[in-house]
Amino acid sequence: METFKKLESEVRSYVRSFPAVFKTAKGSKLYDEHGNEYIDFFAGAGTLNYGHNNPVVSKALIKYLKEDGLVHGLDIATTAKREFIESFNDTILEPRHMEYKFQFCGPTGTDAVETALKLARMVKGRSNVIAFTNAFHGMTMGSMSATANQFYREESFINRTDVTFVPFDSYFGDEVDTAGYLRQLLEDKSSGLDLPAAIIMETVQAEGGVNVASKRWLKEIEKLCREYDILLIVDDIQVGNGRTGSFFSFEDAGISPDIITLSKSIGGGLPLSVVLMKSELDQWKPGQHSGTFRGNNLAFIAASNLLKSYWEDDNLSREIYNKEELIRDRLKVISKEYNSLDMDIRGRGLIYGLQISEPNICRDISAEAFSQGLVIELSGADSDVIKFLPPLVIEEEILEEGLDIVEEAIYKVYNRKEFINQILNHDQVYHRESINQELEQKDTINQRLNQRESIRS
Ligand SMILES: Cc1ncc(COP(=O)(O)O)c(C=O)c1O
């Protein structure tokens, strides 16, 4: 660890939550350099849906490299890219009756978001974009403008404009219709809202605290887009690629986004970012949006093999829903057991959040879980949500094992806190008693002094 502490920037973050030097990984397990084993409930923040070193990926990559397949090629045509486009079209888009064109941008998620925002603004000739409270879209300037968390938006990083934030579904609880609020803003010519080029949304706000939008709300947002000539961008970077059970997270809401951003797990752990756009939006001039790493041939190979292995039937989806039940049932038991902690459970598919409002308790639970061999992270602006994000292919026994560790960690942290509270209460009682004794003593002294005074006089 010394090398990292001494030479790597203070900005490093996950290494602080998971202080081990990892060496190998397979499926849903990681191993550190001393051979300690960890179950992975984090999956590279949603990048390892198919697990670490999935043999489908490793075998295909080794073969491709042995045959001297092209690794880098800017955006020239390659067999690997063609294979990816065709397999995505045949396996994912056509069976869902979806017609989209592909744009390959820089390699990470934020590049896809930047591209989507730029395209929407160019097509509509409007600068404003609507984003939602608790949204997370990435760390480059355009994406960060649409990211809500103040920690990332630090004022000194420059002034971020051209985004209007409005409340996400259930932001004020179930009683307030936030889509209705947005409708009112759009209808009212004096609301002060500039007509946006696009609305950008996550269907489940993963980084924002695992906030799940209802189908009704998603449909209503789409309806507003159609009525007011606004483009709908769904950022499916973290909760697409099967995370919620279906390949895209918006499928069961029955909406049809104009632009979809995909990254993280699409490349099976290798950097790849894709923007899907309806063909009438493809108004780019050749080379108008470019970059050196547009389309990663190794990731194309990984992706096309994964699509063929996992998405030609609905076995993976069914598996995800079964495992979802395991997580949800266990979280229900836990929240009942610790009802004084007033936990909230939310999620879809294999992304679940357990919110515990008591300050710092989630951080302690994650640290305790890590010491017992489980990697699990937090989300939400106050880090008050434990985020369950295992690889989709995790074996049920390993999932159960991980849940056991979470339960044990909560038990330990809760009891430690209770114990400390008891000591504090005891100390307070003790403290109060000693103060009372002191006061009594003072009273007696005063009484005696008074008596003496009166005798003297
Ligand atoms: C919904 C969403 N959009 C965009 C991003 C940014 O992706 P990247 O970190 O690869 O730039 C993330 C990353 O967590 C994300 O969850």
Ranges in the chain, pLDDT < 70: 427-457
Ligand 1: lining residues by beta carbon, under 6 Å = 45, 108-110, 113, 136-138, 202, 206-207, 235, 237-238, 263
Q: Atom 10 (ligand 1): residue with closest C-alpha?
A: 109
> Which atom of ligand 1 is nearest the CA belonging to 206?
16
First-residue to last-residue Cα distance in the chain: 78
pTM of the model: 0.92
246 touches 252 (CB < 8 A): yes
> Which atom of ligand 1 is nearest the CA belonging to 235?
1
> Which atom of ligand 1 is nearest the CA belonging to 205?
1
158-175 b/e (C-beta count within 10 Å ≥ 16 → b) = eeeebbbebbbbbeeeee
- Domain extents in the chain: 2-53+315-413, 55-310
CA of 52 from ligand 1 middle (Å) equals: 19
Q: Atom 7 (ligand 1): residue with closest C-alpha?
A: 109
CA of 323 from ligand 1 middle (Å) equals: 24
CA of 193 from ligand 1 middle (Å) equals: 27
Contacts of 332 (CB under 8 A, 6+ apart): 345
Half-sphere exposure of 69 (CA within 13 A, CB side): 20
> Which atom of ligand 1 is nearest the CA belonging to 239?
1
CA of 17 from ligand 1 middle (Å) equals: 19
Q: Atom 13 (ligand 1): residue with closest C-alpha?
A: 138
CA of 261 from ligand 1 middle (Å) equals: 10
* Helix, coil or strand: residue 66: helix
CA of 106 from ligand 1 middle (Å) equals: 13
**Beta-bridge partner residues of 102:** 276
Q: Atom 2 (ligand 1): residue with closest C-alpha?
A: 137
Report the distance separating Cα 190 and Cα 254, nearest Å. Answer: 32
CA of 137 from ligand 1 middle (Å) equals: 5
Q: What is the pLDDT of residue 316?
A: 98
Pocket test for ligand 1, best of 152, 237, 249, 351 (most atoms within 8 A of CB): 237
37-68 b/e (C-beta count within 10 Å ≥ 16 → b) = ebbbbbbbbbbbbbbbebebbeebbeebeeee
CA of 136 from ligand 1 middle (Å) equals: 7
> Which atom of ligand 1 is nearest the CA belonging to 111?
11
Residue 234 per-residue DSSP state = E
Token readout for 94 is 């056509």
CA of 68 from ligand 1 middle (Å) equals: 32
Protein fold of 55-310: Aspartate Aminotransferase; domain 2 (3.40.640)
Q: What is the pLDDT of residue 417?
A: 83
CATH class of 2-53+315-413: alpha beta
> Which atom of ligand 1 is nearest the CA belonging to 207?
16
